[in-house]
């Protein structure tokens, strides 16, 4: 997958990001961020995050009507790091949250409840109560949740304003290339399955009986969903909004949440597809979405953060088995869960650096790049042609700014790696800021019930 560098396809911004990354790796080594004691860290390119947020704003400004309200709510699960959420808030983005923890992160970052959207197929009564109280927009997943909201509304003091509330719709359009990421299949666990018998009538009734329902939501999937399928999902929900409003004889639906899911190119440096391409396709397919009658919400995650992140890990040993060269590194399933467990769906580019953080130019050798976890499948690349690795070298797992080091897997009691944000000036001077400190061994013990050590033995 890594054989053809699509260099000619890269934009100047893509090339600048790659150059900043090389500078950051060398600086991380010089400044002692990745050492024998701390052998793995996440690095986040602040300028790349800023650029992605800017590109998202520009893409929708280009297609939206003048003055049309557009809230870009960052999907917190893609990079649940408080400093990232605060940066994005400062750049004009809100948050999409789907658990009490994600809600707390958004609040810790200072994101206003009015700029927060609550999803999740399993919201508890307490989560819904809090959203109603604070004014967090709610995307309701199913009829039982709607019934629960009916009664929770009754608990609010009279005159308490309701946040925007709508149903999540599953347009049942089918899957993309990764089943686990496809949320709009016929039997997906998400939302109200619109094409099921009687479902459309149920939805129309639900809105007729509840004049306070004023949104619709769709999220067709994440990574592997073709733009055409995403666009059809949005078109289906737009058509439903028009139908509800026609039936109501008034603009009952005032906002449409089109979800996230813009795929990321993990095969080369190039940023593709772009937010602009997607926004233009949406306008072509559904011009009415951009005539100013609806407030819009988006929920992008991966496409905002993936290309800003690099996982940097030391090579501890190199060895061979059955004729295969194997580099044993400190980046495995604990930081690259999906790549390790579903390697066909989640291949990553990997760059090789020497122990001082300079790019290696040794001749390519087919190698396995393994992680530190104690199970045989803990490989981030198999039979990968890349410069021959040696002990004390570094490997960089590219495009890992979303759903990788920020979403660690607690296996073998390996600690959560540190995350450092970086900026690099024209002269190549790199400055780091700690976004998340490395987890200490003492914290690991505490997390594993260290304070309950005697719980199962006689006093």
Ligand X SMILES: *Cc1c(COP(=O)(O)O)cnc(C)c1O
The distance of closest approach from Cβ of residue 430 to ligand X in the complex, given in angstroms and rounded to an integer, is 27
The answer to whether 116 and 95 are in contact (CB under 8 A) is yes
d(CA 457, CA 459): 6
Catalytic entry in 95, 373, 374, 452: 374
Q: Does 230 participate in binding ligand X (rule CB under 6 A)?
A: no
The distance of closest approach from Cβ of residue 453 to ligand X in the complex, given in angstroms and rounded to an integer, is 38
Nearer to ligand X, 181 or 370 (CB): 181
d(CA 269, CA 286): 31
d(CA 278, CA 436): 33
The answer to whether 81 and 108 are in contact (CB under 8 A) is no
Nearer to ligand X, 223 or 367 (CB): 223
Among 233, 260, 371, 372, binds ligand X (CB under 6 A): 260
Q: Which residue is nearest to ligand X (CB)?
A: 301
Q: Does 421 participate in binding ligand X (rule CB under 6 A)?
A: no
Q: CA 192: distance to chain centroid?
A: 23
Nearer to ligand X, 306 or 430 (CB): 306
Q: Which stretch binds ligand X (CB under 6 A): 71-79, 232-240, 265-273, 407-415?
A: 71-79
Residue in 161, 173, 77, 70 with CA at minimum distance from that of residue 118: 77
Among 278, 300, 404, 422, binds ligand X (CB under 6 A): 300
Q: Which stretch binds ligand X (CB under 6 A): 235-243, 293-301, 373-381, 410-418?
A: 293-301
Q: Is 106 helix (H, G, I), strand (E, B) or coil?
A: helix
325: tokens are 């060269």
Among 77, 283, 338, 416, binds ligand X (CB under 6 A): 77
56: tokens are 């998202």
Q: Does 357 participate in binding ligand X (rule CB under 6 A)?
A: no
Q: Which stretch binds ligand X (CB under 6 A): 108-116, 170-178, 236-244, 299-307?
A: 299-307
Name the strand (E) or helix (H) holding 381: strand 379-387
Nearer to ligand X, 299 or 399 (CB): 299
For residue 18, how many C-alpha atoms fall within 13 Å in the half-sphere facing its CB? 16
Q: Does 185 participate in binding ligand X (rule CB under 6 A)?
A: no
Q: Does 116 participate in binding ligand X (rule CB under 6 A)?
A: no
Q: Does 261 participate in binding ligand X (rule CB under 6 A)?
A: yes
Considering only residues 335 through 354, tell me which ones interact with ligand X, judged by CB under 6 A.
Answer: none
Q: Which stretch binds ligand X (CB under 6 A): 121-129, 197-205, 260-268, 315-323?
A: 260-268
245: tokens are 């409003």
Considering only residues 118 through 177, tell me which ones interact with ligand X, judged by CB under 6 A.
Answer: 119
User: What contacts 98, CB < 8 A, 6 or more positions away?
Assistant: 76, 77, 118, 119, 120
Q: Does 191 participate in binding ligand X (rule CB under 6 A)?
A: no
For residue 309, how many C-alpha atoms fall within 13 Å in the half-sphere facing its CB? 31
Nearer to ligand X, 119 or 393 (CB): 119
Q: Which stretch binds ligand X (CB under 6 A): 38-46, 61-69, 240-248, 295-303?
A: 295-303
CA end-to-end span of the chain, whole Å?
58
Residue in 186, 188, 208 with CA at minimum distance from that of residue 196: 186
Active site residue 373: no
Residue in 397, 196, 230, 208 with CA at minimum distance from that of residue 312: 397
222: tokens are 């994440």
Among 17, 107, 123, 219, binds ligand X (CB under 6 A): 219
**Contacting positions for ligand X (CB under 6 A):** 75, 77-78, 96, 119, 219, 222-223, 259-262, 299-303
The residues carrying an active-site annotation are 374
């Amino acid at each position: 997958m890594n054989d053809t560098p699509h260099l000619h396809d890269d934009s100047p911004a893509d090339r600048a990001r790659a150059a900043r990354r090389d500078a950051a790796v060398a600086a991380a080594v010089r400044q002692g961020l990745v050492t024998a004691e701390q052998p793995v860290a996440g690095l986040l390119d602040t300028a790349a995050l800023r650029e992605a947020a800017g590109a998202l704003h520009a893409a929708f400004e280009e297609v939206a009507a003048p003055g049309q309200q557009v809230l870009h709510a960052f999907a917190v699960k893609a990079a649940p790091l408080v400093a990232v959420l605060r940066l994005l808030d400062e750049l004009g983005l809100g948050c999409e949250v789907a658990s009490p923890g994600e809600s707390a992160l958004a609040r810790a970052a200072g994101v206003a409840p009015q700029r927060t959207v609550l999803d999740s197929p399993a919201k508890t009564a307490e989560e819904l109560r809090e959203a109603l109280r604070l004014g967090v927009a709610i995307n309701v997943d199913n009829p039982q949740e709607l019934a629960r909201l009916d009664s929770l509304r009754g608990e609010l003091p009279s005159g308490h304003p309701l946040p925007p509330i709508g149903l999540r719709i599953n347009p049942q359009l089918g899957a993309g290339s990764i089943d686990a990421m496809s949320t709009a299949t016929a039997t997906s666990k998400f939302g109200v399955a619109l094409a099921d018998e009687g479902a459309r009538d149920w939805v129309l009734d639900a809105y007729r009986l509840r004049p306070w329902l004023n949104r619709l939501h769709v999220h067709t999937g994440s990574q592997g969903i073709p733009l055409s399928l995403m666009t059809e999902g949005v078109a289906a929900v737009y058509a439903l909004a028009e139908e509800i409003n026609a039936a109501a004889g008034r603009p009952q639906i005032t906002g449409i949440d089109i979800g996230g899911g813009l795929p990321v190119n993990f095969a080369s440096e190039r940023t593709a597809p772009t937010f602009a391409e997607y926004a233009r396709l949406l306008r072509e397919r559904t011009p009415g979405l951009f005539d100013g009658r609806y407030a819009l919400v988006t929920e992008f995650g991966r496409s905002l953060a993936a290309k800003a992140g690099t996982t940097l890990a030391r090579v501890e040993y190199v060895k061979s088995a059955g004729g295969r060269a194997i580099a044993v590194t400190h980046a495995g399933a604990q930081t690259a869960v999906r790549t390790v467990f579903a390697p066909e769906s989640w291949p990553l580019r990997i760059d090789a650096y020497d122990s001082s953080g300079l790019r290696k130019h040794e001749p390519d050798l087919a190698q396995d790049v393994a992680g530190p976890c104690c199970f045989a499948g803990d490989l981030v690349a198999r039979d990968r042609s890349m410069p021959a690795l040696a002990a004390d070298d570094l490997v960089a797992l590219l495009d890992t700014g979303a759903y990788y080091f920020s979403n660690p897997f607690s296996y073998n009691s390996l600690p959560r790696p540190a995350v450092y944000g970086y900026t690099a000036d024209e002269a190549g001077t790199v400055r780091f800021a700690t976004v998340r400190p490395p987890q200490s061994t003492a914290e690991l013990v505490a997390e594993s019930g260290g304070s309950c050590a005697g719980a199962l033995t006689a006093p």
